[in-house]
Structure 1
Amino acid sequence: MSTAREIMNSGIQTLNEDQSLAEAAVLMRDLGVGSLPVQTADGALTGIITDRDIVVRACAEGRDLASTKAGELAQGIVSTIGPDEPAETVVDLMGTQQVKRMPVVENGTVVGIISESDLARNVAEDQVHHFVQMVYGRD
């Protein structure tokens, strides 16, 4: 059985909570990602910000992207998972929490992130089905 470490995207880039949404958008574009974990200055994980947060919650509300801080919109972390946890545990936790991204943390440091697409590529079909049912309530 595979582990979180085997299915995660490693080398994850994080964003400081004091960085602007404009900086977050540029970083997402440059990295080709749709979300970034947000941390405090001392490295504590405070949430995740997505490209959707920037567009729907900031742009649509008329916020200034240069002055609005990532920490203002970062969605709180429901939970994280350790890199050596079995993939089945990852699927169950993401499904129970109804999250599409799960940060992988080792010794207090974000070492990767697992997205729903990582699950689709790396876990058994029945586990993907289980995840989809839990998160989206459908087959």
Structure 2
Amino acid sequence: MRTTPPEHWPLRHVLVLPTTGESVRTVREMTELVLVEWGIDCRHPSVDPALLIVSELVTNSVRHAAALSPTVTVTYVASADALAFAVHDRHPYQPALYGSLAGGPGSGLATVVELTMGLGGTAVLRGDADGRGKSIWITLPL
């Protein structure tokens, strides 16, 4: 995978959705459309896990952040050899992605990290500068 930060990759799409249950289905459908538009084969081994991961991250924002974050933003970026996406909400809580503080087996974030690592990808939590929100960035090889 590239060493250039995903924010500087050539392909980019941003989707802003209400932090409601309907957005989970919408984000999955939009993710597929973006990938097709970019010429990424939907049979690539990273695509189905990417759809599950982005759905789970939006679900987490809907369940845990809606009271403080009326919208969730999904940013997609891609290069020739990698796909990355970030799910951002404006809730200040920053969950642990790794280690003993991360959710146990079967939790949504544990599943996200397990799928990501199993594909040779990365999962990174980035807090907003003002401390009132965060993004979880997932990077997967193509």
Alignment TM-score, normalising by the size of structure 2: 0.30
Q: Which has the higher strand share?
A: 2
Identify which of structures 1 and 2 has the higher relative contact order when contacts are C-alpha pairs closer than 8 Å and 6+ apart: 1
Q: Higher Cα Rg: structure 1 or 2?
A: 1
The structure with the greater share of residues assigned to helix is 1
